[in-house]
Structure 1
Amino acid sequence: MGGGAASAGVAPRGARDRFYWSNEEEPHVARRRAILKAHPEVNKLMGPEPRTKWIVLALVAAQVSLSVALRAASWPVYAATTYVVGATITHALFLAIHELAHNLGAKRPESNRLIAIFANLPIVVPYCVTFKQYHIEHHKQQGVDGVDTDIPARLEARIFQGRLGKVAWCLSQILFYALRPMLIKKQTPTLMHALNFAAQGVFNCALVHFYGWAPIRYLVACFLLAGSLHPIAGHFIAEHYVFTQGQETYSYYGPLNLLTFNVGYHNEHHDFPFVAWSNLPALRALAPEFYEPLATHRSWSRVIWDFIMRDDVSTWSRTKRTK
């Protein structure tokens, strides 16, 4: 990682638990104000990216086609394709749903929800509507105890310690990412939740009816691999786990952004959640004096390695606040 970060306002790990506790406002609000004051033209970068829906269509078509085509593939071809291609497509769909949660794929909020439900289909588990609410809370109240469910639960953090524990956590982090919010902070079901579940049920049943269980097994394998020891899964850790004390959010500017809707531009995204993926590089170029001093990650694979091997980084390495 390059750059440094101030540590003001971050309390050392204490008796309460081993998270980092801050008594300051989350950093993105202040930086957003400062950037808008220095560069009011940032407002022109905001708004939806219409290409997102066509990319989603291509990704869904490719993944469903692969799920059917690989039924008769040899084991080596099946395994390699599932890990290299299938898990990458699934993760791209995760991040398309992330864009759509911010209403950045179409002008109307309802259209974004429907596109997200469509993008959800090859992921097998109906989660996109639930994810939207949890994710918006993560942005509005970053690090707030009991609200930001992106942070590991205390029991989760206590259990998965040491190198073997961290390997086990990395192998199954997609399950924690999916299940943790529902266990910590339940949502009230809505009509959109029902539509998400109904559409997913119809799709899953149709796939089994016409092609048997093999496509479902492939899609589930892609889902699990996409959030385990996969290079792209490093972004889950890279975004907010504290590698440089005093800095809560980290960006990555490497080539894997081409496959992930520029989710690596994570400081930029949190500063301006209404700037679509396609304009995040332009945002960084417009305000380099705000982003170049920050610590960054150069490799998501290296992030996973460092998370496992470094004694000072673990599931406790998140910044929390009480309000």
Structure 2
Amino acid sequence: MINTFEKSWFRYKGGLLPTISALLYCQLTYFAGIALILSLNPVLMTIGTLAMAHGMVIAAYMIHECGHNAVFKSSHHNAWLGSALNWLTGGCYGTYDDLRANHMKHHINNVDAVTFDYRSYLARHPIQFKIVKSLEWLYVPAVEFLMHAVLIFAPFLFKEKEDQQLRVIGIIMVRFSLLLGLFLYSPIAYACYLLAYAIFLTVLRFMDALQHNYEFIVEADSNFNLIKHKGDRNYEQSHTFSNPISINHAWLNLLTLNFGYHNAHHTKPTTPWYDLPKLHKSLYGNEAIFVIPFRKQLLSFHKNRVARVMGDDSETQSNRFAQRLQDGSAVGANGVSFLSSF
């Protein structure tokens, strides 16, 4: 009976157990985390904050799986699950369809394309720029919070999204009411939620920051439809880098649902998360040319946390970036999360 259910609903044989396990885990850690935070016991609140943050991380990477239709056979079922999980990640202000379409541009066009150019915005507003840099120095993911704020207000800022205004107003009323209720219950509990969300954003941006040295392109630019490397698989692989937490202890990569095996993911984007280590090994074996050592990931993330606000466009040269990745001096990118759907 279980095999029949799996065969009827899931895209891949063997997908039932890992999918159910991941979904149960993110639900349990998220809602149990809330319960622990509401206990107002300092020790339990600490555990709950970390649990809730990791629940959001797993939910986000399951949304990524849905975006590639790697969970269910039906794209409709993938969309339903992705939309539901997006409520846990706080990305529900944007639609799942927009999120998926934006991420597919990343795979097809081989660029990091955005609608809102936060770099130009900060360059035009020096006070906000100083605030963002100060917060980033303190390891606060200010750029990601800025992008999240723009996601919330996108229907009121961009003409092409005006038809989503009523939908977003409804979501704002629901989510902000819940947040207000949490604050009135306990400002400390509210602060724990904000901390959990900041940790969640930090994990996602840590994984995203060094995986590509693609060009940063604003969709409104006149040259967006003249992208030089659209569909160029050689360019895609040479500008893609894998950042697993550990090669020798592969189980640690489950903390991010194997998202660090990024070259393997870009080689075959529909490969489910639980098969990425096997695909990586079949493609690269023990070859380390595209793999960033974890200590160097941490070093780059730490050293260039302020410089990453504006980025370094010279890093689009693959050889230079690859060298910087290996010596821990790479700047990388901010604001390119797959959860940004605008």
TM-score bracket relative to the smaller structure: 0.5 to 0.7
Matches of 2:162 and 2:60 in 1, distance apart?
21
Change (3 A) 1:171 1:203: closer
The reply to whether residue 64 of structure 1 matches residue 31 of structure 2 is: yes
After the TM superposition, which residues 92-131 of structure 1 pair with which residues of structure 2 at under 5 Å, given as runs? 92-126=58-92, 127=94, 129=96, 130-131=98-99
- Residue 140 of structure 1 is matched in structure 2 by 108
Quote the offset at 1:235 in angstroms.
Answer: 0.9
Matches of 1:200 and 1:61 in 2, distance apart?
25
Cα displacement string for residues 197-252 of structure 1 (whole angstroms, at most 9, x for unaligned residues): 86896688689889975577654442223113x5x64112122258xxx9532211
Higher helix share: 2
- Residue 227 of structure 1 is matched in structure 2 by 201
Corresponding letter in the other structure for 2:282: L
- Residue 34 of structure 1 is matched in structure 2 by none
Aligned residue among 232, 252, 256 for 2:243: 252
Change (3 A) 1:176 1:202: closer
Quote the offset at 1:98 in angstroms.
Answer: 1.4
How many pairs were matched up? 264
Are the aligned partners of 2:29 and 2:54 in contact in 1 as well (CA < 8 Å)? no
- TM-score, normalising length: structure 1: 0.63
Change (3 A) 1:264 1:210: closer
Quote the offset at 1:92 in angstroms.
Answer: 1.8
- Residue 167 of structure 1 is matched in structure 2 by 137
Are the aligned partners of 1:137 and 1:148 in contact in 2 as well (CA < 8 Å)? no
Change (3 A) 1:276 1:143: same
Are the aligned partners of 2:240 and 2:263 in contact in 1 as well (CA < 8 Å)? yes
Q: Any idea what SS the aligned residue of 1:296 has?
A: coil
Change (3 A) 1:168 1:225: same
Quote the offset at 1:93 in angstroms.
Answer: 1.5
Q: Any idea what SS the aligned residue of 2:71 has?
A: coil
Q: Any idea what SS the aligned residue of 1:227 has?
A: helix
Are the aligned partners of 1:265 and 1:280 in contact in 2 as well (CA < 8 Å)? yes
Bigger relative contact order (CA 8 A; separation at least 6): 1
Corresponding letter in the other structure for 1:283: L
Corresponding letter in the other structure for 2:198: L
Matches of 1:287 and 1:276 in 2, distance apart?
16
Q: Any idea what SS the aligned residue of 1:252 has?
A: coil
After the TM superposition, which residues 199-214 of structure 1 pair with which residues of structure 2 at under 5 Å, given as runs? none
- Residue 261 of structure 2 is matched in structure 1 by 265
Corresponding letter in the other structure for 2:257: F
After the TM superposition, which residues 1-323 of structure 1 pair with which residues of structure 2 at under 5 Å, given as runs? 49-50=15-16, 51-75=18-42, 77-78=44-45, 80-126=46-92, 127=94, 129=96, 130-143=98-111, 147-148=113-114, 153-156=119-122, 164=134, 166-167=136-137, 171-179=141-149, 182=154, 188=161, 194=167, 218-228=192-202, 233-241=205-213, 248-255=239-246, 256-288=252-284, 292-299=288-295, 300-308=297-305, 315-317=310-312
Which segments of 5 or more consecutive residues in structure 1 lack a partner in the other structure?
1-45
Are the aligned partners of 1:123 and 1:219 in contact in 2 as well (CA < 8 Å)? no
RMSD between aligned alpha carbons? 4.4
Worse overlay, 176-185 or 96-105: 176-185
Cα displacement string for residues 250-277 of structure 1 (whole angstroms, at most 9, x for unaligned residues): 2112244211111111122122211111
Are the aligned partners of 1:59 and 1:93 in contact in 2 as well (CA < 8 Å)? yes
- TM-score, normalising length: structure 2: 0.60
Are the aligned partners of 2:243 and 2:261 in contact in 1 as well (CA < 8 Å)? yes
